Structure 1
């Protein structure tokens, strides 16, 4: 029995060996497959966490941009209001009106006479909305003054000729008020749009550096002597080194460059807008009644003179001088903004890092994508001013809705209003445009989808041009993987040629790959581009 069994095993030993080998190979293959599956699950989990972290960082960055604009916009508003004192012109008009009234009536009648700015208003103008601040201009005051711009009574004859020789005439004052009120409102719209884009570029560039710093920190293993220690890190808001990378001094000086737009650029832009407004609105009579379509056409003509009449002119329009100082004026801006003094000596590392940020920002501003987004932002801002505010407050046209769209189309196009009543809305809305709280114009601008797409491209591209401190300790594959993850979050093709290859800041913006990524970021949900 035992011998028979032994002989049977001897005859089938080859089959047993093959079977054992197959079983062993199957076991090893199964373990290998399970290990790879576990690794794939872990990788997918890590990628999902990384994408969610990146998305959270990006969204928080955009909220920071909004709060930053609201915080610094009143500075530019104050400078523009001081440069274009419309309210002072109105006070001078009212003073001249009171003097004319005093000469035309007796002293006993003056005491019982109502204020001239109210008594001289027409019935239609009295229904205009009032301003809630003493610095605001009353709509009825402007309209009442507008009624008398072109009228010259006999009582203003030889008795006033001597006094008017040293004063500006009523027509001159009204013409200045017309040009100034429109110029101020339009300039604030341009300033708000430019400041929004500049802030998005600055904070997204610095947010990208902060993201890279965090990735490098996680990727770098701790020293051997610290592996078993518990380390405490300061992640509070007062830890400035964690705010935007490791070079807080460079980032602080870089952000202070917005001083130029707030104090100099907006005033230079105002002169350009004033020339365009004077050419377009200069011959318009304040007593003239025009439709909202006519006002929109005049506004569009001003924009063409400022931004460019054709697509090619708008593409080549240079906005950089209004946003950033020239190379020779950078030290002046840093001193005026309180970042440096005449005795401060900038370290070579800070100077190099700051120069890299300024150069990349300048290239982004000069890119066609910047001009495209700026045009969209201005479209939204001017539409809110003309089609919403002036349409409702001056022309008394109700807001457009699905139920009243057809009625709006039929009736709204024939409604006319005096230019004077529209100027009242321009004066009031100038304060709302430059407001640092509950700014509905900024809310309208941020509804433009192109703005977030542009910020996503800035945030996700050109990881390789950052400081060597970030990239020297990091494998190339990690840089590429982080780049792809962030671009996938923003809707940009991570495999776009050129984006994952080293390039300088200027080359990356001029390279077609940047425009390719920008175009893909603008793709609609149905796959069609804008």
Structure 2
């Protein structure tokens, strides 16, 4: 019985083994039958997975590059904007430094203080002839004024009081308009010069950075590895072989010559930039004299028939001053007068050397004489900008802003002086007449306007420690058209 059961188990195991072998044969037959399909499916699946992974990596890298590009563009824009605002601020600070020079130059030719002191001297002399001053302080003041030398006393011709007031009237108007046009031209020229230099500096920096980036992109990893391997082999060989003194000295000479060449280029660039900026000396010392006769002519035409005792309202005075400025602009900004305007801004070619000799040292002049290519380019750019219609519009806007500033200052000063003079004791009839005049449009003597113009010129030409608080320069610097022109020059890389 036991043997029979054992035989049954053996037979069962044999059948199981036979069934397994049959299933294995079926599996092998199935694999052999569908082997091509399985291989193709595996290849397709692998290709799809690889393509998907590569696509995802490529998209991630592309997005990363785009993000870097956008960030870099934003940084460049912010840097350009920051440099632009800094350049305009530098222009204003430069004007603060140039105003004292303009003040000294104008005071030599248009000295209003001397006329006023001469008038005070005549007034005190008249008091002295009438009687002794009441106190010693008035006597001291009289003596200090009378003892001062004057042009009329030096020339041997003593002008009358009426002639002095007439001279003060004309000279105050001429000086005021000269200050207006000279300051506006100087601010415009300074903006043009500094923005042209800032644009060239930024463009050179951008080109240098772009060249460095292209060089970095061109060097691949394999070339870097080969170069490092080659350098390592060369260093290994150099240990076993004695150094070549001649070759090393030649390499040192080449390196030193390259450094010296870069230094000479930097010196030439700096010298040309300094020469370019020093051309503003012309406008400060000679250029304003080109339009001064035009100012004198228009002042005589519109104010020549007025005597210092004539009475004018603020509207009447402003109308005459506005007509004077309008006629000056018409003559100065006319198409046929562009040469006159350019001659005010920049010296003529045959006078450039004279200007450079007045402003530069001998070493800088020697460098300029050797290579002035950059200076010629900068002057040509400034010439094109100064004769453009945009510059004329900006200059006219600056003059109009100056007119508004002058009228506000003159009105405040004349009104203040009129109130002081009205506080003197007077009878009832005079007070009634003053109240009647105050009810209507107030009128003031032309002489009072002349004094107000003199003080207005002093405020417009503030210098020294208080030059940073010059309201006139700040009002001109805030003219929108000036910033628009500066932005156009700064961003116009086509010059």
Q: TM-score, length-normalised on structure 1?
A: 0.66
Q: CA deviation at 1:337?
A: 1.6
1:325 aligns with 2:356: no
Hey, what does 2:125 align to over in structure 1? 99
After superposition, give the CA deviation of every residue in 1:478-500 in whole Å (9 maximum; x if it has no partner). xxxxxxxxxxxxxxxxxxxxx5x
Q: Which runs of 5+ in 1 are unaligned?
A: 120-133, 136-164, 229-239, 398-410, 463-498, 500-504, 506-530
Give the whole-Å Cα distance in 1 for the aligned partners of 2:336 and 2:191.
21
Q: Which runs of 5+ in 2 are unaligned?
A: 1-22, 146-155, 232-261, 418-437
Q: 1:250 to 1:384 in 2, by over 3 A?
A: same
Give the whole-Å Cα distance in 2 for the aligned partners of 1:343 and 1:65.
25
Hey, what does 1:365 align to over in structure 2? 386
Hey, what does 1:37 align to over in structure 2? 63
Q: Structure 2 residue aligned with 1:256, among 251, 267, 278? A: 278
Q: CA deviation at 1:115?
A: 5.2
Q: Structure 2 residue aligned with 1:72, among 85, 89, 98? A: 98
After superposition, give the CA deviation of every residue in 1:194-232 in whole Å (9 maximum; x if it has no partner). 11111111111111121123223323438999x99xxxx
1:389 aligns with 2:409: yes
Report the number of matched residues: 393
Q: CA deviation at 1:19?
A: 4.1
Q: CA deviation at 1:185?
A: 1.7
Hey, what does 2:166 align to over in structure 1? 175
After superposition, give the CA deviation of every residue in 1:152-173 in whole Å (9 maximum; x if it has no partner). xxxxxxxxxxxxx942222221
Q: CA deviation at 1:342?
A: 12
1:288 aligns with 2:310: yes
Q: Do 1:193 and 1:374's aligned partners in 2 also have CA atoms closer than 8 Å?
A: yes
After superposition, give the CA deviation of every residue in 1:232-282 in whole Å (9 maximum; x if it has no partner). xxxxxxxx98xx997101111111111111111123333332222122111
Q: Do 1:182 and 1:423's aligned partners in 2 also have CA atoms closer than 8 Å?
A: yes
Q: Do 1:380 and 1:444's aligned partners in 2 also have CA atoms closer than 8 Å?
A: yes
Q: 1:378 to 1:412 in 2, by over 3 A?
A: farther
After superposition, give the CA deviation of every residue in 1:66-118 in whole Å (9 maximum; x if it has no partner). 11111012101111011111111122222233333444x35xx45569959x9
Q: Do 1:290 and 1:419's aligned partners in 2 also have CA atoms closer than 8 Å?
A: yes
Q: Do 2:192 and 2:382's aligned partners in 1 also have CA atoms closer than 8 Å?
A: yes
Q: CA deviation at 1:315?
A: 8.8
Give the whole-Å Cα distance in 2 for the aligned partners of 1:66 and 1:182.
26
Larger radius of gyration: 2
Q: How does 1:274-353 map to 2 (within 5 A)?
A: 274-308=296-330, 316=338, 318-340=340-362, 344=366, 346-348=368-370, 350-353=371-374
Q: CA deviation at 1:413?
A: 9.2
Q: Do 2:357 and 2:365's aligned partners in 1 also have CA atoms closer than 8 Å?
A: no
CA RMSD of aligned residues (A): 3.8
Partner of 2:307: helix, strand, or coil?
coil
Q: Do 2:177 and 2:295's aligned partners in 1 also have CA atoms closer than 8 Å?
A: yes
Q: Structure 2 residue aligned with 1:354, among 375, 378, 383? A: 375
